[in-house]
Amino acid sequence: MHRSGTAMAWNVFKFCTALRGLGSIMILLVLGVVGVTYYAVVLTNYGPALSQGGFDSFTALTILLLFHFLLAMLLWSYFSVVLTDPGVVPPNWRPASDEERGESDPLNSLEFDNSHLRVRFCRKCNQPKPSRCHHCSVCGRCVLKMDHHCVWVVNCVGALNYKYFLLFLFYAFLETTLVTLVLMPHFIAFFSDEEIPGTPGTLATTFLSFVLNLAFALSVMGFLIMHISLVAGNTTTIEAYEKKTSGKWRYDLGRKKNFEQVFGMDKRYWFIPGYSEEDLRRMPELQGLEYPSKPDFDSQ
């Protein structure tokens, strides 16, 4: 039994090490897909159409403007997730007085009993951890309001970059859907008897770009729908799995407040990867250390 446990721990360690090693490869893969798509849409199909004049030029211009806008927002959101620390427990952090009175996170039953709730403690980091905080085996540290470790962004998704991750999914879905729609006529032409203009290289790039963007649009749509439901219930991927046996969720404050805890209260910042200074000042939950809960839970 001891050998089995040791082997399992070693396998998990090797798996986490492999995920760390994927870092630059995944970023290059994302940029490679962007590059192939840019070549197919801008340089091969719709860029040359600008010189045709008339309605074709107007259509091409509209498509290119929308394409570049969504691409800029996608890359801005993507690198915001990649470069933003998801949130770590501050050094020498200690829980607030409400947690000391026993109002700690109901998850992780190994860390409390039914009679006396105790402060949550990470055995791997050897330090107390705030509510909704979890240890990431890939990053090797506790992450505030951890959702998951994403290999595509080479980072953990947590309290400080979850909004950026959602915006990345949102703009990725819009961009890949747009590319799929505008390249669909060219894709259909492959299966017709008409002669298709272009070199074998440009035709292959168009075909590949359509297939890749269609696949990403469908997959990202699934993730986006899932995370919209998580935001509506003010929960994370980890919490959604853990609270299946926990009954009511103490942090579900209603859809409007749940949404604001992720995107902020300032509507001007809802669709960009950032927060207003006022929101950062008046909403401590954006920092990942404190989260309001339902009054009926606070009174228990």
Highest mean pLDDT among 88-92, 246-250, 269-273: 269-273
Instruction: Round to whole Å and give the CA distance between 80 and 73.
Output: 10
The answer to which of 85-89, 109-113, 123-127, 261-265 has the lowest mean pLDDT is 109-113
Structure confidence by residue, pLDDT tens digits, 15-28? 555 556 666 788 99
- Strands (DSSP E) found in 144-214: 148-150, 155-157
pLDDT at 44 over 90: yes
pLDDT at site 54: 87
296's tokens: 């009926």
The answer to which of 30-34, 100-104, 257-261 has the lowest mean pLDDT is 100-104
- Strands (DSSP E) found in the chain: 121-122, 127-128, 134-136, 141-143, 148-150, 155-157
Q: How far is CA 102 from CA 123, 130, 227, 234, in A?
A: 20, 13, 30, 22
**CB-based contact 87:139 (threshold 8 Å):** no
The three-class DSSP label of residue 68 is helix
Among all residues, which ones are annotated catalytic? 150
CB neighbours of 292 closer than 8 A, spacing ≥ 6? Answer: 251, 253, 285
pLDDT at site 298: 53
pTM of the shown model: 0.85
pLDDT at 213 over 70: yes
pLDDT at site 215: 97
